[in-house]
Amino acid sequence: MLTLSNINFIKNEKRILSNINIAVKEGECIALVGASGSGKSSLLKVFSGLIPHFYQEDHFSGQLFTNGELVTEANYEAYIKKTGVVFQDPKSQFFTYKVKDELDFELENNGLERGFIEQKVKQIARLINISHLLDCALDSLSSGQKQRVAIATALINDSDTLILDEPSSNLDLSGTNLLKKLLQSVKDTGKTIIIAEHRVYYLRDVVDRFIYIQEGKVMKTYTNREFFSLPDALRGELGIRKLSIKAIKPDRLTKEIPDKDPLVLNDVSIAVKRKQLINSINLTQSRGEIIAIIGRNGVGKTSFAKTILGTQKAMTGHFLIAGKPLNKRERLKSVWMVMQDSIYQIFGDSSYNELLIGHVQSSADQIKKLLKKFDLWHVRFTHPYNLSGGERQRLIIAVGLLQQRHVLIFDEPTSGLDGKNMLRVSSIIKEAALDHYTLIITHDPELIAEICDRVVMLDHTGVVLDLRKEQLDGSTLENLLTF
């Protein structure tokens, strides 16, 4: 059993956790739910022992017990060896260059025999469906593939407890279904699982209890049955995502989209390090139209976006706006992309100053309005590195909306967002799209249903499906996103 007793945590003079008391039985699976920035990730760090053992400059009080024994500096190393952790950003926990080396790493550090290590790596790779990735460089993987590798590294040492921070955020539905089966099989072995998650539909048959966190406090604990019986109005009020994909109903209102000055991609082929990913993309988009770009993890969606942006060279093809061809340099001036790894787009020392960079002409009222619109005014003086994943994502989108560009590309803009912030970001993207060409790379069926006019599916040959929203419902979306 894991027990948190009277946990309090203050970071940078901001109270993150207040009087937390949680007991998790051996073999139980619990999920922490609540708004972005409510303290879920910090609570996972307490369960893992990272807080306070690696956050000693911050104020912490309280105790963590494992089977009645207090976890201290003296026995922390033994505790962490039996605890597997998957962070919100999986790259932050990688130490090596190749996937296989990453899986080898901890087993080698424990002095295990080479033959056992080889057998264990093959076994876990088959379980997580990453056998085909073992010889790949970690930095060449898609975000979803990195997520699976991180889960494999957390499991390879036969941990008693598995801690996961938004494990489905970068996964397509096939990956999410695989994750569900994996969690169920891990639970069946008697291991304890603690998850922080916004997308909860796949946890219906896995989680025993849901703990709702608000402003660093435990507000309510639900049994599985109670949670999945929540009235839709209350669920929305709590900021919890849809409880079933089939319950998603796309907006049927058809908006007027003028068929003029189109963005045209003609025979564009995508490659990374001379390896062709997508053979030939032909796509036409009207100004004001929002297109969802979907496809399985690793197909090349982000590389496609970077090629449009101009940071990656196309092997072949032409890009035109209103009939005018755009070369690589011109595209850099015409396209703004909100990256999936938003931390790489951070340069300021506060949320407020981040919006000022390159936009000193922007008025204080304009910046204040934008920060309030994204529910970031209360963290305007906070360093972006100290924001939650969802808060940082919203900040980068806000920066993007200050750019005077023709094309807006969003790479998984709702991956770290709760239900309320997903709707808030959807509304802002929808508003910004009125005078832009907007492309959204996403696995999020709720986002697609909320704002997208078309869904375009890519595979290695190019565009294989192009549907308008009038052709979609929850079941269709589920089928489309399960590759």
Query: Where in the chain are the domains?
Result: 2-247, 263-481
Can you state the angle between helices 143-155 and 114-128, rounded to 10 degrees? 130
Provide the pLDDT confidence category of residue 254 given band limits of 50, 70 and 90: low
Q: pLDDT-based confidence at 378, cuts 50/70/90?
A: very high
Mean pLDDT of 36-42: 91
Whether 388 shows a pLDDT value over 80: the answer reads no
Label residues 171-197 b or e (16+ Cβ within 10 Å = b): bbbbbbebbbebbeebbeeebbbbbbb
For domain 2-247, give the fold.
Answer: Rossmann fold (3.40.50)
Confidence of residue 31 (pLDDT cuts 50, 70, 90): very high
> For the segment 125-151, what is each residue's pLDDT rounded down to a tens digit?
988 889 999 999 998 888 778 888 998
Is the Cβ–Cβ distance between 418 and 390 less than 8 Å?
Answer: yes
Q: Are 354 and 392 in contact (CB under 8 A)?
A: no
At 392 the pLDDT is 83
Answer yes or no: are the C-beta atoms of 143 and 173 closer than 8 Å.
no
Third-level CATH fold of 263-481:
Rossmann fold (3.40.50)
pLDDT band with cut points at 50, 70 and 90 for residue 483: low
Does the pLDDT value for residue 323 go beyond 70? yes
- Average of per-residue pLDDT across 253-266: 76
Q: How far apart, in whole angstroms, are the C-alpha atoms of residue 152 and residue 458?
A: 27
Confidence band (pLDDT; 50, 70, 90) for 439? very high
Give 341's DSSP letter. S
Residue pair 248/449 in contact (Cβ under 8 Å)? The answer is yes
pLDDT tens track for 175-216: 888 889 889 988 998 999 999 999 999 999 999 999 999 999
pLDDT 10s digits, 348-371: 999 999 998 877 667 888 889 889
Which pLDDT belongs to residue 5?
96
What pLDDT is attached to residue 3? 96
- Mean pLDDT, the chain, as a whole number? 89
What is residue 252's predicted lDDT score, i.e. its pLDDT?
57
Separation CA 129–CA 8 (nearest Å): 39
pLDDT at 259: 67
pLDDT, residue 253, reads 57
Q: Which of 76-85, 295-304, 361-370, 462-471 has the lowest mean pLDDT?
A: 361-370
Domains 2-247 and 263-481 alike in fold = yes
pLDDT at 458 over 90: yes
Q: Band of the pLDDT at 408, cuts 50, 70, 90?
A: very high
Split at pLDDT 50, 70, 90, the class of 57 is low
- pLDDT (mean) for 378-402: 84
Split at pLDDT 50, 70, 90, the class of 258 is: low
Report whether pLDDT(339) > 90. no
Q: pTM to 2 decimals?
A: 0.84
Q: Is 303 left (phi over 0), alpha (psi -120 to 50) or beta?
A: alpha
Highest-confidence segment of 148-157, 212-221, 302-311, 446-455: 212-221
Q: 223-232: long-range contacts (C-beta < 8 A, 24 or more apart)?
A: 227/200, 228/204
Assess whether pLDDT exceeds 60 at residue 91: yes
CA-to-CA distance for 292 and 380, rounded, in angstroms? 31
DSSP structure string for 56-93: TTSEEEEEEEETTEEP-TTTHHHHHHTEEEE-SSGGGG
